[in-house]
Amino acid sequence: MGRPLGGVTARRVLVTGADGFIGSHLVERLLADGHEVTAVVRATSVVGTTELRLRNLGAVRDRLAGVIAVDVAGSDACARMAESSPQWVFHLAAEAWVERSFTQPAEVLRTNLGGTMNVLALARQSPGLERLVVTSSSEIYGTAQAERIAEHHPLAPTSPYAASKLAADRMAFAFVQTYGLPIAIVRPFNCYGPRHTYDVIPKFIDRALRGLPLVVFGDGQQSRDFTYVDDMVEAFVLAAEHPDVVGQAINFGSGVSITVAALAAQITALCGSPAAVERGPARAAEVARLCCDASAAHALGWRAQIGLDEGLQRNIAWAREQRPAR
């Protein structure tokens, strides 16, 4: 290691959640920048035992320094990850489906906090560590109490998922204060794009392309700040490279919000779909409004570049490519 890349030295990098939505895009970017990347992926009864099956990283599998299939919250995770002697660690592994936390809150907490504890333990025993980037969530704020949410906004999670992410966020901060670790905390606002499968945008796109009704829960006036995945990858890279983010939690978002009802209408129009928009019952723990104040990120040189209309068009084009040929 040590080859210069436009002013940035190549590092040994470990990425947890590497085969997930944001993680896979981040891995591709890190490889393109010349870094030596080890991917940590979720171990299952198949993956890591009888075979290694990568959902999103198949195209770059041969370029990875290694793949570790492990339960990130398991007792052996820290030791397994330490084998890569990382200089940078990006921790993205999580149970990120809010609805699952309603029925399995203990399992979500185990993964999101327990997994983070293992990564923090890894950081403590990695003498060559230069930066650990921990992924938080805008959900930790609850409903916006101002026009936009800055980092000093009250922390008021409404779901077990959000509470688990807040616990991980504050534990990472505590490890900075207690052990002096070089940790940066990224708080993404509603990232979307190709490979995302379970949030509102991919669900709406899938149903619009199939001509099925798009279901908007409650009155549809709940609003979100959507940030395209390419911009979010830039945020993670900045959090690893910039000297002024250590010990900080930084919001990354577009600063523009849209209601879910308006989003449904925009997606059907962009898809050229006849799909209707229907109302469903209000959901538990629904956050009414999220909109990012990204002033701190802007001061570091980051700004969202891809607007919602362009991002949705890219996402729709990708979704069309994934549909089976008729």
Identify the residue whose tokens are 């025993």.
Answer: 125
Q: 311 and 317 in contact (C-beta within 8 Å)?
A: no
Q: 190 and 223 in contact (C-beta within 8 Å)?
A: no
Residue 109: exposed, middle, or buried by beta-carbon count in 10 A (0-12, 13-18, 19+)? buried
pLDDT in tens, 67-106: 999 999 999 999 999 999 999 999 999 998 899 999 999 9
Catalytically active residues are 161
Instruction: Given CATH 3.40.50.720, say whether it is the number of domain 9-192+228-253+294-305.
Output: yes
pLDDT in tens, 249-275: 999 999 999 999 999 999 999 999 999
Return the pLDDT at 325: 63
Which run of H or E residues covers position 31? helix 21-32
pLDDT in tens, 213-248: 999 999 999 999 999 999 999 999 999 999 999 999
- In the chain, where the domains are located: 9-192+228-253+294-305
pLDDT in tens, 157-169: 999 999 999 999 9
HSE, side-chain direction, 13 A CA sphere, residue 141: 26
